[in-house]
Amino acid sequence: MATTIAQPWAELPADVVDHVRPHLPEIVDEVIAAVGQEVPAYRRPLEGDFGRGLRYGVEAALGRFLDLPGTSQPAASGTDREVYVLLGRGELQAGRTLEALLAAYRVGARVAFRRIAELARAAGVDADSIVPLAVATFAYIDELSSASIEGFAAEQSARAGERDRLRTALVALILSGTADPSVVQDAARAVGWALPDVIVPVYVESGRSDGLSASLGPDALVAPSSEGVVALLPAPTRPTDWQSLRRQLTGRGAVVGLVASLGEAAAALRPAILAMRLVADGVLEGDPLLVNDHLVDLVVHRDAQLAAALIARELAPLDSVRDSTRDRLAETLLAWLSYRGERARVAEALHVHPQTVAYRLGQLRTLFGDALTDPDRRFALELALRASPE
């Protein structure tokens, strides 16, 4: 069984409105005048839609309040309540703050209470009824304020959703690489983003992107894409700017793509997506990881199938030895190629005796033969060893 909620105006004698209603037009005028005087956002000529809207809102609020004494009806419901929800939406649409509307409500409630109390006392209403009148007046205005707060928040949410949709569409346009520059310019203007000449893309997995836009600041265009969350931002030009970007991205596992013109944003982002895959595979590491610091690794690992074919062809001689020996020989061969055959440096890098290096090199010459003296084959061997997961 439903329970009726007692309302503060239920304690007011119903006949109090009989003394007030004839004076409603003058009370409306007093409220409008006070609001215009005390709330700066409403200090403007009461003409056109603004004037009509303000007068309608005050008349509707006071008229509804005078219907409530002696009842347990809600302050407003249905279409009545929607009026105040729409007022909240209208404040944002008009470029005013919610606080301006709430201040207008407070001023209106104070002026209306004073005049209604004066009229009630002049008509002989018991002084004991004045306190419930005050309680009812300000409880009523709180209900209207709540409805307008809801409307203001709903408009903010709608605008945020539309802004997000437009930003996502802009990112898609830029990454398509085929959009007409004038279309991109118009789309950027619609979201308030100044198109940079040179950008750097940042790729972050969706699960680690919360607050990314706030971290990077207003210069960054952040939006979801098919690959995760992408941020496009003006390319840093100074070392301190790069350091700042690193700090902003730390903890997100982000990958920073190549610096490029806006028209080549998609090409600049592709290596970042590849780098993220290599991070997941344990090939690369960094937080954040800058693509420009790992270009060789990205070239070597760009195509897994081709890399596997290169490894199989070039390192086939190692298939004839035991796994433990294979690992040592592969490690030695890569160090020998990297240090151009300088035995002492190879030994130092491997933490072994130079004689051990000489012994292993003897094994490698037996296995690889002329490949170790052919420049092209040595280059292919080094690529294969760097691409090898072992």
Rg (Cα) of the chain, in Å, rounded?
A: 37
With b for 16 or more beta-carbon neighbours within 10 A and e for fewer, the 239-249 pattern comes to eeebeebbebb
Please report the pLDDT score of residue 359 as a whole number: 92
Predicted confidence at residue 248, as pLDDT, reads 92
Q: What CATH number is given for 196-300 in this structure? A: 3.30.70
d(CA 113, CA 23): 13
Per-residue pLDDT in tens (0 to 9) along the chain, 390 residues:
444 557 888 877 777 778 888 888 999 999 989 988 898 888 877 667 777 878 888 888 888 888 888 888 888 877 788 888 888 888 887 888 888 888 988 999 999 889 988 888 887 777 777 888 888 888 889 989 998 898 888 887 777 777 778 888 888 888 888 888 888 888 888 888 888 889 999 999 888 888 888 888 888 888 887 778 888 999 998 999 999 999 999 999 999 999 999 889 888 888 988 898 888 888 888 899 999 988 888 888 888 888 888 888 989 999 888 888 998 999 999 999 988 888 899 899 999 999 999 999 999 999 999 899 899 899 989 888 888 876
- Name every residue whose Cβ is closer than 8 Å to that of residue 96 and which is 6 or more positions away in sequence: 41
Q: At what angle do helices 48-65 and 78-93 cross, to 10 degrees?
A: 150
- Domain 8-159 coded CATH 1.10.490: yes
DSSP letters spanning 19-32: HHGGGHHHHHHHHH
**Bridge partners of 224?**
229
What's the one-letter identity of residue 279? V
Cis bond upstream, residue 288 (ω within 30): yes
